[in-house]
Amino acid sequence: MSRALKYLDPGTRVRARAVMAAMAAYGYPLFVTCTYRPEKTQIERYAQGRTTAGRIVTNVKRGWHCIRRGGKPASRAIDFAFKKQDRFPDRNFWDENWPWDRLKKICAACDLTRTLRWDLGHMVDKRGESFKKAWQNSDQA
């Protein structure tokens, strides 16, 4: 699993940087918790709580984080969280009091979509495609 922006699809990388800059301008700097995740790792995460020990952490065997092109990671998903700030000492990265709705609106303006109701920082660069279509166009198909 990686947090590096270099593992994003080039178009997704531009969108992610724009979102981060806009949120920082509003006074809410972000950090990235995940960009690329190998398919094998995603399958292991899917098994957790089903066939291996632990609680269920995902509902997909493959995801936007796993896309590869030309033999290299080209993820079209990014997970954001808010950087802890001195002005909000009691808030953790996932606190409901962070401006998640503002993040969602800025992401939408940059053509990134929140695809999971329960994961507020997970954004996807769909480009009008379903995941099935994006997966078919990737190296894994």
Domains of the chain by residue range? 5-136
Positions of the chain with pLDDT lower than 50, given as ranges: none
Q: Please write the tens of the pLDDT for every residue from 92-104.
A: 777 777 899 999 9
What pLDDT does 114 receive? 93
Q: Please write the tens of the pLDDT for every residue from 57-82.
A: 888 888 999 999 999 999 999 999 99
Backbone phi and psi for residue 73, each to the nearest 5 degrees, phi listed first: -55, 135
What pLDDT does 141 receive? 54
Q: Is 129 left (phi over 0), alpha (psi -120 to 50) or beta?
A: beta
- Helix and strand numbers (H, E) in the chain are 4, 6
Q: Does domain 5-136 have CATH number 3.40.50.300?
A: no
Q: Name, in order, each residue with C-beta under 8 angstroms of 64's C-beta and a sequence gap of 6 or more.
A: 75, 76, 77, 115, 124, 125, 131, 134
